[in-house]
Amino acid sequence: MIANTLVVERLVACFNIIPCESVYHWQGRMEDHGEFLLIGKTRKHLMEEIIKTAKSNHSYQTPCIIFLHIVDGNPEYLKWIKEETKD
C-alpha cells in the first residue's frame, strides 16, 4: 500500500485513509470507481520525493497527488510531523 511505503520511508508522518467514490472522464470515457482518499501529513521539502514514490507504486497512469499548505495548527502535532519525517 502506498501509505505504508511513504510512512516507512519517513516521507509522510501519518495518513488518514477515507473510502470514497470518484466520478470523472478518462480517455474519452466516463468513469465511476470506488477509491481511497489519502490525507497525509508531511513537510513541503518532501513533495518531489513523495510524488515520485507514489507514482511508482500507484496503479493509475495519472494519480491525483496534490499538496495543501498547513497554515497553522497544534504546535505539538506540527512538531511531531517534523520529528516523524526525514530532513
Domain tally, the chain = 1
Tell me what the mean pLDDT of segment 43-64 comes to: 96
pTM: 0.91
Percent of the chain past pLDDT 70, that is, above it, reads 100
pLDDT at 23: 97
Residue 8 one-letter amino acid: V
Domain interval for residue 67: 2-84
pLDDT at 67: 97
CATH number of the domain bearing residue 35: 3.30.70.120
